[in-house]
Amino acid sequence: MSKSWENWTEQKIANFQEDFLAWYQQEKRNLPWRYNHDPYRIWISEIMLQQTRVDTVIDYFYRFMEQFPTIQDLANAPEDKLLKVWEGLGYYSRARNLQAAAKQVMGEFDGEFPTTVEDIRSLKGIGPYTAGAIGSIAFEIPEPAIDGNVMRVVSRLFCIEADIAKASSRNAFDEAMRRIISQDQPGDFNQAMMDLGSSICTPTNPQCDVCPIQQYCQAYSENRQTSFPVKSKKQKPKDVYYVAGIIENNQQEIFLQQRPDTGLLANMWLFPLEEISAPRFKELQEQYDPNAWDLFSSTIVAEESPNFFPEQDVVWQKKVLGEVKHVFSHLRWHILVFYGRCAAPLTLKGHWVKPNDFPEYVFPKPQQKMLEVFENNSADDKD
C-alpha cells in the first residue's frame, strides 16, 4: 500500500496544520462539551456520540450532567436511575460501562480521571478512539482519535486503499494521523477532523469547493473523492418477528416484564413478547383488521392454532393495534402489537403497573414505540 503521507515534508505538514487549525477556530461547532477541557464532560460526550447524532446527544448530555455532575455521582447512582436518564439513547451497555468505569476511577485513581492514554484505555468501555479523544482534548496528548469521520477524511487525503470495515486497516490510518497531527494543539486538530468529516467531507457529495484542506487532498487532485473510503458491505441485520401483548386487568393496570440482567436490553421493561415465524407474522398482518376496534375473542387466532402466551387467561382484541419496527446493530425486530384483557392472575413473570407509573420504569426504544401505538389507539377510542 502506498504511504503518501511519508512524502510530506515538515514544511508541508506545518502549512497543513496552520491552515486546518485556522479553519477550525473560525468554523468549529458550538457544543456544550467544548466549553472547557474537563475530561469527565469530554468522556461522557464521546460515549454518547457513539452511534448517535450530535443533535440527538445534546439534550441527553445536559440531562445527564444535571443528574450526575461528577464522577462520584455517576459511580454511586442506582442503575435504574442511570438507565432512565439514558432512556431512548440506545446501546444501553454504554451507560453500564460508564458507571463501571466511574467506579474504576473512584477505586483505582482516587477519584481523579487518569491523565495518560494507557490509564484511560484501562477504563471499562474505552477503546483507542475514545482514549485518543479524551487524551488529546483534555490533556493535549498528541494521540489520534480515529473514528469513521476521520478515516473518511484521511483516506481521501492520502488515497488510502485499506478497507475501513476491517480492524486491521486501522494501523494505516493511525500511522498517517501520527504523521500529521499537531503536537501543540492535538485536541483542536482531532476535533477539526471530526467537524470536517461531519460537515464537508461527507460520505456522499463532499463539498470540496469549500474544503479548507482541498489543496492538500490527493483524492481531490486525482478527482477520485467518491472512491474513498474503501468499505466492504456490512452484513444485514437478522430479521426477528414477535407479537406483543398489551394485557390489562380489572384495575386498569398493564402487565410489564423485565428483561434478563444480561444480553440485549438487559433489565429493561417491555410488554410481553412472543417470537413467531415470518410466515405466521405475515398471516397475522393479513388476518386482523386494524379498524375493528371493539371486537374481542377468547382466542385471537384460529381455533386450531396455538394462542399467544399459552396458559394465560386473556381475552384478546381481534385487531392488530399496529406494527413496530426497530433496528439494532445485528437484529431487526418486527413486532405486531395486540391488546387483551385479563381477569385471572397470569403465570407469566412480571409486574402489573398503572400507566401513570410508567415514567418510573426504564423503557427501551422498542417499548416506547409500542406504547405510542397503544396510546394512539386509546385516544382514537375516546374520540
**Catalytic residue IDs:** 46
**Which positions ≥6 away from 209 have C-beta within 8 Å?**
none
Residue 307 one-letter amino acid: N
Strand pairing class (331-342; 314-317): antiparallel
Cα–Cα distance, 150 to 198 (Å, whole number): 9
SS3 label, residue 352: strand
Rounded Cα gap, residues 139 and 42, in angstroms? 11
| Pairing of β 331-342 and β 238-248 | parallel
HEC profile of 66-107: HHCCCHHHHHHCCHHHHHHHHCCCCCCHHHHHHHHHHHHHHH
113-132 in b/e burial notation, b at 16+ Cβ within 10 A?
A: bbeebebbbebebbebbbbb
